[in-house]
């Protein structure tokens, strides 16, 4: 009779809990994101735009290994991004549609940025961040995030494309959530390439605008639209030291969450020196609930913890920064996006 010693020993395969488990889902999260990245890199969603396809045909078209592709798509089908029919063919679901590169609101570039090595490598250092309070990105790369982007063109291009992807539809949702004035000048501080300013000016033909950001950013602006002719100008500089004066309305969209309180006070101070008493400031950022209720921006706050010295904030935390900078908080307006509009007035 054979005994256990008659056969070579094999390591025990890892087991998976039989029922749904929140912990299990979190433990496997990096595998899900790796699978999303794989299909994004090979543009699988684009190749399913016309309907379901047999995996062998899809793999041949992409130059991929059919069985490996089947297994990855099966995982993502389990999470609703793809579908699998009785014949084994895979199709793209509505939830997976943003992975296409050719649709409005495409999240393809965002998927590539969020799953890139920069963020993955930074995430490994959170263990040390809990001890030191320092950003894990800087520990991993030896320099702050924005310095790394400035020195690494490929990383900068990836970041810019990812941010444009994440904010593409958001700018319209936010711009449509506020009653902008029908005249005057709006100054978009740190406005990037002008996507938000363009959305605002397009809605209010009586408004003029100033796009303010770093020289290399505003030089690649996107304000050359026929309906905006003669209604905008660009200005380059450092929002820590000064911003264009004379605006009737100032915008800070997704700026303050990148910085710690000390730097936020420097930015807000520069805006306050430029804004006359009674002029308004709109801070567009996620606003976390004061009572600790769940909010999708808590996930974004983890990226801030990993990569920058910024954070997502509550309404009370924004009010404190604004008050210390010479502004009065008027109201907080929710939008259909992740961000809210925090309206303040120079005092």
Q: What are phi and psi of 328, to 5 degrees?
A: -115, 125
What are 238's strand-pairing partners? none
C-alpha span between 190 and 36 (Å, rounded):
31
C-alpha span between 329 and 205 (Å, rounded):
28
Q: What are phi and psi of 42, to 5 degrees?
A: -90, 5
CB-CB contact of 253 with 188 (8 Å): yes
C-alpha span between 125 and 136 (Å, rounded):
5
- Going by C-alpha positions, the residue among 183, 308, 185 that lies closest to residue 235 is 185
State the catalytic residue, choosing from 10, 30, 257, 295: 257
- Going by C-alpha positions, the residue among 281, 297, 301, 278 that lies closest to residue 337 is 297
Q: What are phi and psi of 224, to 5 degrees?
A: -80, 75
CB-CB contact of 287 with 342 (8 Å): yes
Q: Give me the sheet containing 249-253, strands edge to edge.
A: 232-236, 207-213, 184-189, 249-253, 280-285, 340-346, 327-334
CB-CB contact of 314 with 321 (8 Å): no
- Going by C-alpha positions, the residue among 246, 252, 276, 247 that lies closest to residue 264 is 252
What's the token pair of residue 215?
Answer: 């020289």
Phi-psi region of 179 (alpha: psi -120 to 50; beta: other; left: phi over 0): beta
Ranges of H-type helices in 115-188:
117-123, 126-132, 136-141, 145-151, 153-167, 170-175
Mark whether 257 is an active-site residue: yes
What are 327's strand-pairing partners? 346
Active site residues: 257
């Amino acid at each position: 009779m054979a005994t256990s010693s008659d056969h070579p020993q094999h390591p025990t395969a890892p087991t998976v809990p039989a029922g749904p488990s929140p912990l299990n889902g979190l433990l496997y999260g990096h595998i899900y994101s790796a699978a999303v990245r794989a299909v994004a890199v090979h543009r699988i969603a684009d190749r399913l735009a016309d309907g379901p396809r047999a995996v062998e045909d899809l793999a041949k078209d992409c130059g991929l290994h059919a069985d490996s592709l089947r297994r990855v798509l099966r995982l993502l089908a389990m999470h609703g991004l793809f579908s699998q029919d009785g014949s084994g063919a895979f199709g793209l679901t509505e939830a997976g549609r943003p992975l296409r590169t050719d649709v409005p609101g495409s999240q393809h570039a965002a998927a590539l940025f969020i799953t890139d090595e920069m963020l993955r490598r930074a995430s490994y250092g959170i263990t040390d961040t809990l001890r030191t309070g320092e950003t894990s990105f800087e520990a991993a790369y030896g320099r702050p995030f924005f310095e790394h982007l400035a020195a690494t063109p490929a990383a900068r291009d990836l970041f810019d494309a990812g941010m444009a992807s994440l904010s593409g539809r958001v700018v319209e949702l936010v711009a449509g959530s506020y009653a902008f004035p029908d005249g005057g000048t709006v100054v978009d501080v740190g406005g990037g390439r002008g996507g938000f300013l363009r959305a605002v000016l397009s809605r209010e033909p009586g408004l003029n605008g100033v796009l303010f950001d770093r020289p290399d950013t505003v030089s690649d602006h996107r304000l050359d639209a026929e309906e905006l002719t003669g209604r905008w100008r660009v200005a380059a500089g450092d929002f820590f030291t000064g911003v264009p004066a004379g605006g009737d309305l100032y915008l800070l969209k997704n700026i303050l969450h990148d910085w710690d309180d000390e730097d936020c006070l420097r930015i807000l101070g520069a805006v306050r020196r430029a804004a006359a008493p009674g002029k308004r400031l709109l801070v567009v950022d996620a606003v976390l609930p004061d009572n600790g209720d769940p909010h999708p921006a808590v996930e974004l706050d983890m990226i801030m913890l990993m990569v920058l010295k910024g954070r997502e904030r509550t309404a009370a935390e924004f009010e404190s920064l604004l008050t210390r900078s010479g502004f009065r908080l008027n109201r907080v307006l929710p939008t259909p996006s992740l961000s809210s509009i925090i309206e303040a007035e120079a005092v």
